Amino acid sequence: MRSWIAGLPLLLVGLPFAACSSSKSAADAADAAAPDDDSAAPENPGPPCPASGVAKGPLSLAMTRTSVIVRWEACRADATPGLVYRPESGGAADTAIATVAKPFVLKERHTAVLGPQRSPDDVPGTVYMHDAAISGLTPGTCYRYELAADRTIAGRFCTSQPDGGKVHFLAIGDTNPLLGDATSKLLAKVVPMGADFVVHGGDIQYYDSHLETWAGWFPSMQPLLALGAMQPALGNHEHETDDELDDYSLRFFGHPDFGGDTMWYRYESGGIWFHVLDTEEPIEPGTPQGTWLTAGLAEVATKPGFRASILVMHRPLVTCGDNAENDGARKAYASTLAQYKVPFVIQAHIHGYERFEIDGITYVTTGGGGGLIGDMNANISRAECGMRKVSGGFFHAMDVVIDGTGIHATVIDDAGATRDTFTVAMP
Ligand SMILES: [Fe+2]
């Protein structure tokens, strides 16, 4: 290891990529920090292909009451397919599921120039995606699984709750686990709370931090991926390079059958409907996504067992922090959200925590998953900041339980301290 690398994370303090927008200044700083003699930096070969052939993951996604997909990336065509699963509470059946290894060709190389020793390159070449589509599961039940390729590679998923069941999820956003150790400390505190699935508010990984590749991201995030289904919104950092959205973000988290577009979708647990928006595309009423949202809110409100809808998005409708808000969309949707029983909006992008109570709707910014903490008061002069109840610049995630009495949230920081608790009444 060359000595210049070890001290470079300290240079990141104060770099402006915390605001989730342009990375030009960070890139300039990285360029300035790099040694002049590039010949001293041999091309990083990326992580070695392990004996199991399992290179990234597994993770689970596309949760329904009776099905889920377990997905992983293999680095060899002949990696053993399949997995074994059983109910977490104990149960008889072990079942092997066949998977299909689908080749995927990666053309670009990505290097974490400030921390290649912690985050190997994402390298060009062919990888093999495995999707184990498991059906016939019991609603409201958690399962443990092990990959047949290596039974020590394990995880957990839970099916959606039946009508009226207790819905338990963890909300987190803006995860940059190799920026420092905040994400790892945070996951050690919140994963044991035992949520059934993960609502990720977007900005899942940060090439722009220059400390992180997907090859480094996956091992760091495995405790979260092993907790339950990853149900993310996509953020601006899913578009950091021309190839990232298709070759990485959607390859890992995309699924065409959610009921919307690949990048906006909805899913359900216990009569609670989660409408996940892509704020890199227009969301206003009358746009394709806005039309889809409004129609979906109306449709699910008529379904048997419906209790409430929740919106999940990356860029905020309302914030006092160090970036833009979409005040126009918030006001345009206010009557629609009230009409179709949407009492709770989960947003991210601003690196810290905020909770607003506006016209009977709770808006939370949960963007403290590990990205450099921002200025939560940069736009405190906005009129709606008078309706902000709690805020702070700290790393955190939000554990949420929805039962017959309401939506109960607990905000936990990376030291395990409770920073906020609140209950949203069911509409
Ligand atoms: Fe962002």
Per-residue model confidence as pLDDT tens digits over 155-201? 999 999 999 999 999 999 999 999 999 999 999 999 999 999 999 99
**Predicted local confidence at residue 255, as pLDDT:** 87
Give distance in angstroms: CA of 300 to centre of ligand 1: 29
The answer on pLDDT for 389 being more than 60 is yes
Give distance in angstroms: CA of 147 to centre of ligand 1: 33
Give distance in angstroms: CA of 125 to centre of ligand 1: 29
Give distance in angstroms: CA of 350 to centre of ligand 1: 7
Task: Measure the CA–CA gap between 326 and 70, rounded to whole angstroms.
Answer: 35
Task: Measure the CA–CA gap between 366 and 371, rounded to whole angstroms.
Answer: 11
- What percent of the chain has pLDDT above 70? 89
Calculate the average pLDDT of the chain.
90
Give distance in angstroms: CA of 7 to centre of ligand 1: 26
Neighbours of ion ligand 1 (CB under 5 A): 20, 203, 235-236, 349
Give distance in angstroms: CA of 210 to centre of ligand 1: 16
Give distance in angstroms: CA of 201 to centre of ligand 1: 9
Give distance in angstroms: CA of 174 to centre of ligand 1: 7
Give distance in angstroms: CA of 233 to centre of ligand 1: 11
N-terminal to C-terminal alpha carbon distance within the chain = 57
Task: Measure the CA–CA gap between 421 and 418, rounded to whole angstroms.
Answer: 7
If one counts every other C-beta atom within 10 angstroms of the C-beta of residue 246, the result is 12
Give distance in angstroms: CA of 245 to centre of ligand 1: 14
Task: Measure the CA–CA gap between 240 and 235, rounded to whole angstroms.
Answer: 10
Question: pLDDT tens-digit profile of 55-64?
Answer: 999 999 999 9
Tokens of 378: 């940069």
Give distance in angstroms: CA of 236 to centre of ligand 1: 5
Specify the DSSP class assigned to residue 159: P
Q: Which domains does the chain have, with CATH numbers?
A: 3-40 (no CATH), 54-157 (2.60.40.380), 162-424 (3.60.21.10)
Give distance in angstroms: CA of 21 to centre of ligand 1: 7
**Predicted local confidence at residue 17, as pLDDT:** 41
Closest by CA to 198, choosing from 170, 166, 235, is 170
Give distance in angstroms: CA of 241 to centre of ligand 1: 14
CA distances from 389 to 129, 343, 357, 362, 385 (A): 44, 16, 7, 10, 9
Give distance in angstroms: CA of 204 to centre of ligand 1: 9
The answer on pLDDT for 26 being more than 50 is no
Q: Kindly state the average pLDDT of the residues 356-367.
A: 98
The answer on pLDDT for 151 being more than 70 is yes
More confident residue, 134 or 30: 134
Give distance in angstroms: CA of 203 to centre of ligand 1: 5
Task: Measure the CA–CA gap between 343 and 357, rounded to whole angstroms.
Answer: 10
**Predicted local confidence at residue 160, as pLDDT:** 98
- Model-level pTM greater than 0.85? yes
Which ranges in 171-322 belong to alpha helices (H)?
Answer: 182-190, 214-225, 244, 250-253, 288-300
The answer to whether the CB of 137 falls within 8 A of the CB of 63 is: no
Q: Which long-range contacts (CB under 8 A, 24 or more apart) does 415-422 make?
A: 415/185, 415/189, 416/189, 419/353, 419/390, 419/392, 419/394, 420/353, 420/355, 420/390, 422/355, 422/362, 422/389, 422/390
Integer Rg of the chain from CA? 21
Give distance in angstroms: CA of 237 to centre of ligand 1: 6
The answer on pLDDT for 2 being more than 80 is no
CA 181 to the chain's CA centroid: 18
Count of positions (residues) in the chain: 427
Task: Measure the CA–CA gap between 65 and 120, rounded to whole angstroms.
Answer: 37
Give distance in angstroms: CA of 418 to centre of ligand 1: 24
Task: Measure the CA–CA gap between 251 and 128, rounded to whole angstroms.
Answer: 11
Question: pLDDT tens-digit profile of 221-276?
Answer: 999 999 999 999 999 999 999 999 999 999 999 987 676 777 899 999 999 999 99
Phi-psi region of 194 (alpha: psi -120 to 50; beta: other; left: phi over 0): left
